[in-house]
Structure 1
């Protein structure tokens, strides 16, 4: 029974994060419906719903930003109590002059490992990738608006790292002394958090790497830094390094393998960097 409760406890950050997103979306939907009803007093329920959906999609980036802020506030307060009410440590503790180049190498390897996975999926299951792209377009994450950039590059890494490499990894390490099991559990939760299969697959891989970096540096700041760099690469510079490529399945596998080797080299250097410190 005690073990069952411990495993259930590992899911609480995931549930809390999903609940925060759902609460923000529901509250905003109610607000929009009330606003539209006041502005269109003679409109039918169907017209109000149609207008609400249109405005909701237009405001999706702003809503995502709000949900990230709510997540940060909730997770930071929770993490503060879980960590024994300790104030945040020096962000540079455990870092060296070697750390930033190592993180950049990990960023490139991780980003293009995930890009390679998407290329392979595009050949093996085109419909699955098409649905994922449509979801991104509908959410407004494809646009490079200031709100989207702030949410993706700043707030998302902080909130998600607090939830998963902070709280979830803390709880999973209580269950097992084997780090790889604890890291896998939190990475699976991180994948589920993204709520769609394609993004969930590569989010789980990212979660494994973020968890490894957090453990090696013994610092949540390290995984936040890498997370922010990966989001920056995926949002801004990814298209510059692989502009509109449509490689065949064989080339997609080749890109995936090369990127995975780069990532492995980066993680090996993480081990050396943390060994020095």
Structure 2
């Protein structure tokens, strides 16, 4: 029974994070439908629904930003009590001059490892990738608006790290004394949190790396920093370095292997950095 409760605790941050996203959308949809009904008294049900969908799509980036803000407040308060009501320490303490090069190496390696995975999926299962791209387009995450940039670069790394590398990893380590098991559990939850197969695959890989970074530096600041850098690379830098690139399957594997080597080098350098600290 005790073991079951520990597993259930591991799932709570995932459930809470999904619930925030879902409830934000539902509450806004209800308010929007009420508003449209008042503005269009003679309209039929399908007309009201079509108008509601059109307006909802316009404000999707704003809703994503709002859900991230709610998640941060919820997760920060939760983490504060779980960690024994300790205030967060100095974000600079525990880092060295080597930390930034380490993070940049890991950022490049991790981002292009994920890009390589996406390229391989595009060859092996093009329909799966097409569905993923349509989902991104529908959510407004493909267009670089101030709302999507703020949500992606600042709020998402903080809220998601608090939920998964803060809370989930904390409880997962109580289930198993082996870190790799606990790290795998929280990474799986992080992958499920993204609610689609393609994003879930590379989000799980990211979760494994973020969890490793959090453990090595013994600081959520480290995983938040790397998370923000990876999101920056994926949102802005990646498109500049690989503009409209459509390589064959062999080249996709080459990109995956090369970026994996860069990521491994970054993690190896990280080990030296944390040993010095």
TM-score, with structure 2 as normaliser: 0.99
Shift of 1:115: 0.1
Q: Unpaired segments of 5 or more residues in structure 2?
A: none
**Are 2:182 and 1:182 aligned?**
yes
SS in 1 for 2:250: helix
Equivalence for 2:63: 63
Q: Which whole-Å CA distance do the structure 2 matches of 1:72 and 1:45 have between them?
A: 37
Q: Which whole-Å CA distance do the structure 2 matches of 1:253 and 1:10 have between them?
A: 34
Equivalence for 1:252: 252
SS in 2 for 1:94: coil
Q: Which whole-Å CA distance do the structure 2 matches of 1:12 and 1:193 have between them?
A: 12
Equivalence for 1:121: 121
Q: Deviations over 1:164-206 (max 9, x none)?
A: 0000000100111000000000000000000000000000000
Equivalence for 1:145: 145
Q: Deviations over 1:213-270 (max 9, x none)?
A: 0000000000000000000000001011111111100110000000000000000111
Aligned pairs for 1:138-217 (under 5 A) are 138-217=138-217
Equivalence for 2:219: 219
Q: Unpaired segments of 5 or more residues in structure 1?
A: none
Equivalence for 2:17: 17
Q: Which whole-Å CA distance do the structure 1 matches of 2:258 and 2:179 have between them?
A: 27
Q: Deviations over 1:56-79 (max 9, x none)?
A: 111100000000000001000000
Q: Which whole-Å CA distance do the structure 2 matches of 1:183 and 1:11 have between them?
A: 14
Equivalence for 2:232: 232
SS in 2 for 1:240: helix
TM-score, with structure 1 as normaliser: 0.99
Q: Which whole-Å CA distance do the structure 2 matches of 1:272 and 1:31 have between them?
A: 54
Q: Which whole-Å CA distance do the structure 1 matches of 2:144 and 2:37 have between them?
A: 32
